Structures are given as structure tokens and as C-alpha cells.
């Protein structure tokens, strides 16, 4: 059965792989990025039905950007910008940008699409394992990823029977952000002896969206990082 899938932050990395995978499966995919032209180009590349421009850090404009979206069976919130921040040298503007993008922006997308979700719809939010194992510069990233856990709980409660889950990847070795960075120490600290791949994360998202009894789950996809 073809489903209506919306991938917010679908122009790059894991979001793009999710959009490509679901389009290949015959679903009607809408993907978004900040720039509408780029989103349309990527939509063509991956076989998605449409690409839309939407800036998560400008929540008041989100509803307008999503006006034309129809029925939503599966909603994936994957957008992120990289914020290198520390409490010692705190960049307030950068922090406000990322907190707005991930927490207010994600919530406003759900609010804006609320009437197009139905009782069998499912939502997956992206957090990340920086919340458990922060690295230098991860002050805001760790904060918002932990915030995603709270968001899952409140959305799953308020929107029931719509299911809401989150995926929390560790470092995804073949994602654009990490693929050109040193990985030896990260691999050595991963019990499985390999970093998670984009394919692994797409698979986890499919599971969370598809399994009708999995709800309010925060799923780690990190090869067991927390064991080390």
C-alpha cells in the first residue's frame, strides 16, 4: 500500500536516505530543506513526489510552508544544523537557533500537520546519543537530543492513538557530517566493532513507523556505545 510520507530535513544525509528508500518502495514522499529549489532538485534525484522549502528555525512560517501537504501516514523529523557550543564559551545565538530548530520547530511541524494525521499515522523524531555521551562542543546538541525524549513522551500522550517514537543514533560513520572525519577511536569504543550506518538508521526508522505496537520508544542505534 502506498503511503503519504513527509521527511523534514530530507535533502541530505539520513533524511535523504529515508526519502529515497520510501520513494523506491512506492510511497508518495514529500521532503523538505531550507531552500525550495534545492529541495525540488533532491526530490527529483531520489524519486520523491515533491520538495518543499521550510526553515525549522522560523517556526511561525512552518504552517504556511506545509499548506499543500495532503494526508500524512508517516512523518519523519530529521532536520538539524550543527552547533559547536560550550558553557564556558557560550554562543547564545547559536544555542537559540538549534533549540528553536529541533524543539520548537519539530513541535510546530506536528502542530501544523495535525489535521492531516489520522489514527494510524506514526511519527519518528531524531535525537542522538550526544545526550548520553556529550563530546566537546556538544552542549546544545546534548540538550536538544535529551529534549527529544521529553517531546516523544508528551506527543505520544497527547496525540494517542497516533504513535510517536524517536531514534537516537550514535555517530553514523557514512553520514556526510562524519564520513571524512577520523573514526578509529569511535570504532574502538563501539562494542560491535563498527559504527552505525545510514542503512542501519533507515531500517530502525522503518521499524518504528511500521510496527503498530511500538509507541513512545526512544531507540538507540549505536552498536551498544553505552556499554563502554
Ligand X SMILES: NC(=O)c1ccc[n+]([C@@H]2O[C@H](COP(=O)([O-])OP(=O)(O)OC[C@H]3O[C@@H](n4cnc5c(N)ncnc54)[C@H](OP(=O)(O)O)[C@@H]3O)[C@@H](O)[C@H]2O)c1
Figure out which of the listed residues 36, 45, 49, 81 binds ligand X, where binding follows CB under 6 A: 81
Told to check if 55 binds ligand X by CB under 6 A, we report yes
∠ CA 91-93-99, rounded to 5°:
100
Figure out which of the listed residues 79, 140, 155, 225 binds ligand X, where binding follows CB under 6 A: 79
Total number of residues that touch ligand X (CB under 6 A): 29
Figure out which of the listed residues 80, 142, 146, 202 binds ligand X, where binding follows CB under 6 A: 80
Told to check if 175 binds ligand X by CB under 6 A, we report yes
CB of 56 to ligand X, least distance (A): 4
Told to check if 178 binds ligand X by CB under 6 A, we report yes
Residue 57 or residue 107: which is nearer to ligand X going by CB? 57
**Interaction site with ligand X (CB under 6 A):** 9-15, 33-35, 38, 54-57, 78-81, 101, 126, 128, 169, 171-172, 175-178
Amino acid at each position: 500500500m502506498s503511503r503519504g510520507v513527509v521527511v523534514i530535513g530530507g535533502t541530505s544525509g539520513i533524511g535523504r536516505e529515508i526519502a529515497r528508500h520510501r520513494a523506491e518502495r512506492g510511497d508518495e514522499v514529500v521532503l523538505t530543506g531550507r531552500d525550495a529549489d534545492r529541495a525540488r532538485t533532491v526530490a527529483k534525484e531520489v524519486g520523491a513526489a515533491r520538495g518543499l522549502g521550510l526553515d525549522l528555525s522560523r517556526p511561525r512560517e512552518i504552517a504556511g510552508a506545509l499548506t499543500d501537504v495532503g494526508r500524512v501516514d508517516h512523518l519523519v523529523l530529521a532536520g538539524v544544523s550543527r552547533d559547536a557550543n560550550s558553557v564556558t564559551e557560550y554562543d547564545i545565538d547559536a544555542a537559540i537557533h538549534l533549540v528553536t530548530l529541533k524543539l520548537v520547530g519539530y513541535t510546530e511541524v506536528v502542530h501544523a500537520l495535525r489535521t492531516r494525521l489520522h489514527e494510524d499515522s506514526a511519527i519518528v523524531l531524531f535525537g542522538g546519543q550526544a545526550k548520553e555521551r556529550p563530546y566537546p562542543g556538544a552542549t546544545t546538541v546534548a540538550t536538544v537530543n535529551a529534549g527529544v525524549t521529553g517531546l516523544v513522551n508528551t506527543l505520544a500522550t497527547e496525540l494517542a492513538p497516533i504513535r510517536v517514537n524517536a531514534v537516537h543514533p550514535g555517530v553514523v560513520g557514512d553520514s556526510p557530517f562524519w564520513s571524512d572525519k577520523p573514526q578509529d577511536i569511535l570504532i574502538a569504543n563501539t562494542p560491535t566493532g563498527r559504527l552505525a550506518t545510514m542503512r542501519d538508521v533507515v531500517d530502525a526508522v522503518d521499524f518504528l513507523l511500521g510496527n503498530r505496537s511500538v509507541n513512545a520508544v526512544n531507540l538507540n542505534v549505536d552498536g551498544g556505545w553505552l556499554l563502554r
